[in-house]
Amino acid sequence: MLTRQSLLSLIALTLTIVASQPGWTKVEYDSTSLLIKSSDQIGDMVKKKVRKAQQIQSKQEDSEDGEIAIEPEALEQLKDALRIVLARPDQDGARANLYSRIRGELTDLNSLDQALVDLTEEALTELRTQDGPRRTATYVVILENLMAEIRPEMKGNPTFRKIIERIRDAKITIEDKAKLKNLLRSMSVPVSPSVTAQKILEKEPAAPAPTKGK
């Protein structure tokens, strides 16, 4: 039988463990950790997330109107897969194929725009606080890779343009640029995603609104 002191110690230990659980798994989402993994290893990580999402989604009952509604847990698995792919600096050109697979899964479930908007807001929130250079570096890479993937479809998808405008308007500034450069093994100093977004929007101006006939 547990003594009062033992019970208090157990409760304290449990609370410590719970409180210490990060919002992300560093092995998966930390850019510096992902950087040392091969494209095959990253691919395996993504496959596991996608497979899990498919298993969760397969349990959904058909709706009366035939519409496909994504299960929240399945969406979280696919967003996890997105974080893995987009948080990894694309030094070997593996990002496009991996992103394309996740994009296809989300598109089939009518949830691509939602997932990208959610991930953008998550990244902007983190970059406002910049709680440590590793997390900052990771979310800078996420936004840079995300913009690179959606830029070609900006003209046909208003949500994608709004995402890039949102990043521009956030006016993110990066602290400890030299440290981030070292963490990401980059030859150049990291640029604010807001600056990148501004340059994209300057090169890809919005189509003029149609004029009303007299």
Domain membership flag for residue 133: yes
Q: How confident is the model at residue 6 (pLDDT cuts 50, 70, 90)?
A: low
pTM assigned to the model: 0.81
User: Which residues are within 8 A (CB) of 70 and not within 5 positions of it... i.e. 6 or more apart?
Assistant: 57, 109, 110, 111
Chain center to CA of 134? 15
List CB contacts of 150: < 8 A, sequence separation 6 or more: 116, 157, 160, 163, 164
Average pLDDT, the chain: 84
Tell me the residue range of the domain where 128 lies.
Answer: 24-60+67-203
Does residue 213 form part of some domain?
A: no
Report yes or no on 120 lying in a domain.
yes
- Whether residue 18 is predicted with pLDDT greater than 70 in this model: the reply is no
Q: Residues 145-185: pLDDT tens digits? A: 999 999 999 999 999 999 999 999 999 998 888 788 888 88
For 186, phi then psi, to 5°, come to -95, 150
How large a percentage of the chain has pLDDT more than 90? 60
Residue 13 domain-assigned?
no
**66 or 15, which is more confident:** 66
Considering the domain boundaries, does residue 5 fall inside one? no
Within-domain flag for 126: yes
Share of the chain above pLDDT 70, in %: 79
Residue 17 lies in a domain: no
Does 189 have pLDDT greater than 90? no
Q: What is the pLDDT of residue 132?
A: 85
Least trusted range by pLDDT, from 9-18, 31-40, 97-106, 120-129: 9-18
Q: Is residue 14 part of a domain?
A: no
Res. 17: pLDDT tops 60: no
Number of domain units in the chain: 1
